[in-house]
């Protein structure tokens, strides 16, 4: 998020109408991505990859960025499914809003939704525009409408405008992914400032509440709302005291709202990732020293790549999961979730 006058270390934010931020700027050409037919997953004859060795493992090079960080500056660069995700029409004609859609899990979900046939609006901070431009271009290359809505979701009025703008630009709204988050590691409660505590809660909890509340009047039977919680909800790290609290609260929010909206035919679920290789981690979410071994403590001995979570969001967004509501889907490499 970007408060007026100063920038605060917040993560993953608002998508925007092409009239805002990205509207006036043509997306620069990306390196050519593989088409679905060229994807390494395309061949039915190929043996399934070994999940232990499928993606990079620790040790990772020490690196640090100012919050909120950019995927394009990470080493190794995260895989959001740009060259590998193949759609099959599961979300044809749907209209989705994804917060934090410029990079990380939100980017992977946005790409997958577009390749499954959905038009997608993404939210992000204006400083994340280089990453966001790439996502907008990928959505367009999938033949779908892209709406870019940058802004600070810690502001209630902006959250209301975000939803209204997304629904107007997309011609409706039936999928919402609350994914934007702030995570800053602090070793001791004595060093956790009220300002950071407030910013984390505003980003992770208040924004989810404001955006969901604004979205519900637009949602019709068959709509799906998906929240990104975390393994931290169940197995909190001592240096993520504020972040872990918000992720635990998101689980309760998901289950309670699912009961409220079930009678309206609107499903509410959550995804609880374990360690995922995203800019959130290299911009203060982990101490630089811990980042070198990030994800190595899981049974799969590595962090997830955002691309590995995309299909879970697609499943929860699609009618294929029509009996799933109030559920929390863990994707944690073998540890941390109940």
List active site positions. 243
Check: CB of residue 122 under 8 Å from CB of residue 110: yes
Distance CA 137, CA 157 (A): 28
Check: CB of residue 56 under 8 Å from CB of residue 77: no
Q: Starting from the edge strand earliest in sequence, which strands make up the sheet with 267-273, in order?
A: 146-150, 119-124, 95-99, 175-178, 224-228, 267-273, 328-331
Residues 6+ apart with CB under 8 A from 6: none
Residue (of 90, 103, 140) closest to 119 by Cα position:
140
Could you give phi then psi for residue 256, rounded to 5 degrees? Answer: -70, -45
In sequence order, the β-bridge partners of residue 14 are 123
Distance CA 42, CA 56 (A): 21
- The three-class DSSP label of residue 276 is strand
Residues 6+ apart with CB under 8 A from 332: 231, 272, 273, 274, 275, 298
């Amino acid at each position: 998020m970007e408060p007026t006058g100063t920038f605060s270390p917040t993560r993953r934010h608002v998508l925007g109408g092409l009239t805002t931020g990205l509207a006036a700027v043509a997306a620069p050409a990306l390196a050519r991505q593989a088409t679905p037919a060229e994807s390494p997953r395309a061949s039915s004859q190929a043996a399934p990859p070994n999940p232990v060795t499928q993606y990079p493992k620790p040790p990772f090079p020490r690196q640090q960025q100012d919050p909120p960080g950019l995927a394009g500056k990470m080493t190794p660069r995260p895989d959001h499914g740009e060259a590998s995700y193949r759609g099959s029409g599961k979300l044809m004609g749907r209209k989705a809003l994804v917060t934090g859609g410029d990079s990380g899990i939100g980017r992977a979900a946005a790409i997958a939704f577009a390749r499954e046939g959905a038009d997608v609006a993404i939210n992000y901070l204006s400083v994340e525009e280089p990453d966001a431009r790439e996502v907008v271009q990928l959505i367009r290359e999938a033949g779908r409408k892209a709406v870019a809505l940058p802004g600070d979701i810690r502001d209630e009025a902006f959250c209301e405008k975000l939803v209204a703008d997304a629904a107007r630009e997309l011609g409706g709204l039936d999928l919402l992914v609350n994914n934007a988050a702030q995570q800053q590691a602090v070793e001791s409660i004595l060093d956790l400032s009220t300002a950071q505590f407030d910013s984390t809660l505003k980003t992770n909890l208040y924004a989810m509440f404001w955006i969901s509340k604004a979205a519900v009047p637009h949602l019709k039977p068959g709509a799906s709302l998906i929240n990104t919680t975390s393994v931290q909800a169940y197995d909190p790290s001592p240096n993520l005291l504020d972040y872990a609290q918000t992720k635990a609260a998101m689980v309760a929010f998901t289950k309670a709202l699912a009961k409220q909206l079930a009678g309206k035919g609107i499903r509410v679920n959550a995804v609880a990732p374990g360690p995922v290789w995203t800019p959130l981690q290299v911009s203060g979410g982990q101490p630089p020293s811990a980042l070198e071994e990030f994800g190595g403590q899981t049974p799969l001995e590595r962090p997830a790549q955002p691309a590995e979570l995309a299909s879970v969001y697609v499943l929860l967004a699609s009618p294929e999961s029509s009996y799933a509501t109030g559920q929390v889907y863990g994707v944690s490499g073998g540890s941390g979730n109940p």
